[in-house]
Amino acid sequence: MASGFFAVLDDISALMDDVASMSKIATKKTAGILGDDLAVNAEKATGFMASRELPVLWAIIKGSFLNKLIILPIAFLLTAFLPAAITVILLLGGVYLAYEGAEKVIEFVFGHKTGVPEPPVQRIPEAEMPEMEKKKVRQAIVTDFILSVEIVIIALSTVIGEPLLTQILVVSAIAILATIGVYGIVALIVRMDDLGCRLINWHKGDNGLSDRIGRVLVRALPWVIKVLSVVGTLALLLVSGGIFNHNVEFLHHLFPGIPSLLKDFVTGLAIGSAAVLVFGWVKKAFK
């Protein structure tokens, strides 16, 4: 009886070792999307009153967990009964990520050359703030859903040949860690300015260490958001390009001498630019 019990423990230990090693591989493959997820949600969780930042972020976190509860069972069912659909979903998600990245690049390059002045910033009435807040939360949850699909599918692709239990444990662990990690960092980012203000007001003196640190935090927040936006855009293009270069045979063997990062970026930008053009034509056709 005792030997059987220890045999079970040994099997569990071996399984956990496999899950840990595969989770490391899956985490590396999903790192690009996690960077974009971080940038997008940090941007969407800012711009509210200090008292509303954490409630808004908590609403997005709950939506993110619900997204993954929906996505994970569907992904495992497709793996078991229709594995070919995984690649199709991966490529469709890659088109979306490439579109998002290319749209930001095109807007940056050509957006300021139109000669059309930007409309003046208008103050939003206080009565409309709750509705605006709900709208931004919905947008963040929809974006999180699409990115979560890619995170789950990419993580699943690393364990596609493993037993079902291993797949479930690895992908579920990645999904949970992604949500906790991304939104934990977002919470720290959106509270940077609030912490800075507290440090500034901590002492009455004007030039104390806490005042200097507080001013740095307050001034740094807009730059942190901008840097995350740039990193997120690059991540979108690199991840989407990598998806196509690793799953489309023709692209996989095209230009073998080019460094993989450069090839992924160019592929993502090319596919994204084509998607932007096609979507633009479709919008004009249905106007």
Cβ-contact 211, 63 below 8 angstroms:
no
Supply the pLDDT for residue 5: 44
Supply the pLDDT for residue 224: 79
Supply the pLDDT for residue 188: 80
Stated pTM of the model? 0.68
Supply the pLDDT for residue 25: 55
In a 3-state reduction of DSSP, which class is residue 258?
Answer: coil
Q: What is the residue type of 10?
A: D
Burial of 239 (0-12, 13-18, 19+ CB in 10 A): buried
Convert 210-257 into a string of H (helix), E (strand) and C (coil).
Answer: HHHHHHHHHHHHHHHHHHHHHHHHHHHHHHHHHHHHHHCHHHHCCCCC
Supply the pLDDT for residue 272: 92
At residue 23, what are phi and psi to the nearest 5 degrees?
-65, -35
Burial of 245 (0-12, 13-18, 19+ CB in 10 A): buried
Give the other-Cβ count within 10 Å of 274's Cβ: 14
Q: What is the pLDDT along the chain (287 residues), one digit of tens a residue?
A: 445 544 444 445 544 554 555 555 555 666 666 666 676 666 666 666 666 777 888 888 888 889 888 988 888 888 778 877 878 887 888 888 888 888 888 888 886 544 445 544 445 555 656 777 788 788 778 778 877 887 888 787 777 777 777 778 888 888 888 888 888 888 888 777 777 777 777 766 666 777 777 778 778 877 877 787 787 788 778 878 888 888 888 887 787 778 888 888 999 999 999 999 998 898 888 86
121: DSSP letter: P
Supply the pLDDT for residue 23: 56
Supply the pLDDT for residue 121: 42
CA 29 from chain centre, in angstroms, equals 13
